[in-house]
Amino acid sequence: VPFLRILGIETSCDETAAAVVERDAEGHSNVLSDVVLSQLDEHSAYGGVVPEIAARAHVEALDELIEEALARANVSLDDVDAIAATSGPGLIGGLLVGLMTGKAIARAAGKPLYAINHLEGHALTARLTDGLSFPYLMLLVSGGHTQLILVRGVGQYERWGTTIDDALGEAFDKTAKLLGLPYPGGPAVERMARDGNPARFDFPRPLVGEARLDFSFSGLKTAVRQAAQDIAPLSDQDVADICASFQKAVSRTLKDRIGRGLQRFKTEFPATGEKPALVVAGGVAANLELRGTLQALCDKNGFRFVAPPLRLCTDNAVMIAWAGLERMATGAAPDALDVQPRSRW
Ligand code: KG4
Ligand code: ZN
The CATH number given to whatever domain includes residue 176 is 3.30.420.40
Asked whether residue 340 is assigned to any structural domain, the reply reads no
pLDDT above 90: residue 287 = yes
Instruction: Give the distance, in angstroms, between the CA of residue 47 and the centroid of all CA atoms in the same chain.
Output: 20
Together in a domain, 14 and 117: yes
Distance 296 CA to ligand 2 centre (A): 25
Together in a domain, 169 and 285: yes
* CB of 90 sitting under 6 A from ligand 1: no
Together in a domain, 191 and 207: yes
Together in a domain, 175 and 293: yes
Together in a domain, 209 and 285: yes
Asked whether residue 140 is assigned to any structural domain, the reply reads yes
Higher pLDDT, 45 or 136: 136
pLDDT above 90: residue 257 = yes
Ligand nearest to the CA of 13: 1
Distance 199 CA to ligand 2 centre (A): 32
Interstrand relation of 136-141 and 277-281 (parallel, antiparallel or unpaired): parallel
* CB of 166 sitting under 6 A from ligand 1: no
Condensed to tens digits (0 to 9), the pLDDT of residues 30-63 reads 999 999 999 988 998 888 889 999 999 999 999 9
pLDDT above 90: residue 271 = no
pLDDT above 90: residue 2 = no
Residues making up the binding site for Fe cation: 118, 122, 315
Mean pLDDT in residue range 62-79 = 98
Residues making up the binding site for substrate: 140-144, 173, 186, 190, 287
Mean pLDDT in residue range 318-335 = 97
Together in a domain, 219 and 230: yes
Together in a domain, 254 and 171: yes
Q: CA 225 to CA 231: how far, in whole Å? A: 10
- Expressed as residue numbers, the domain containing 80 is 4-127+312-329
Distance 318 CA to ligand 1 centre (A): 18
Q: What is the mean pLDDT of the chain?
A: 96
Residues 6+ apart with CB under 8 A from 97: 11, 55, 58, 59, 62
Asked whether residue 342 is assigned to any structural domain, the reply reads no
Give me the percent of the chain exceeding a pLDDT of 90. 92
pLDDT above 90: residue 5 = yes
Together in a domain, 320 and 295: no
Asked whether residue 344 is assigned to any structural domain, the reply reads no
Q: Annotate 245-260 with DSSP letters as a single string.
A: HHHHHHHHHHHHHHHH
Which run of H or E residues covers position 312? helix 310-313
Ligand nearest to the CA of 194: 1
Together in a domain, 114 and 157: no
Together in a domain, 162 and 234: yes
To test the pocket of ligand 1, the residue of 146, 172, 174 to mutate (highest count of ligand atoms within 8 Å of its CB) is 172
Number of domains in the chain: 2
Interstrand relation of 277-281 and 146-153 (parallel, antiparallel or unpaired): unpaired
Asked whether residue 144 is assigned to any structural domain, the reply reads yes
pLDDT at 46: 85
Asked whether residue 155 is assigned to any structural domain, the reply reads yes
Distance 344 CA to ligand 2 centre (A): 13
Asked whether residue 66 is assigned to any structural domain, the reply reads yes
Together in a domain, 271 and 171: yes
Q: Which of 163-172, 189-198, 205-214, 286-295 has the lowest mean pLDDT?
A: 205-214
Q: CA 328 to CA 330: how far, in whole Å? A: 5
Q: In what order do the strands lie in the sheet with 277-281?
A: 156-162, 146-153, 136-141, 277-281, 304-306
* CB of 287 sitting under 6 A from ligand 1: yes
Mean pLDDT in residue range 26-33 = 95
* Protein residue with its CA nearest to atom 22 in ligand 1: 186
Give me the percent of the chain exceeding a pLDDT of 70. 100
Residue 5 φ then ψ, to 5°:
-135, 125
pLDDT above 80: residue 1 = no
Residues 6+ apart with CB under 8 A from 41: none
Together in a domain, 277 and 321: no
pLDDT at 273: 78
**Residue among 264, 313, 316, 267 at smallest CA distance from 291:** 313
Asked whether residue 98 is assigned to any structural domain, the reply reads yes
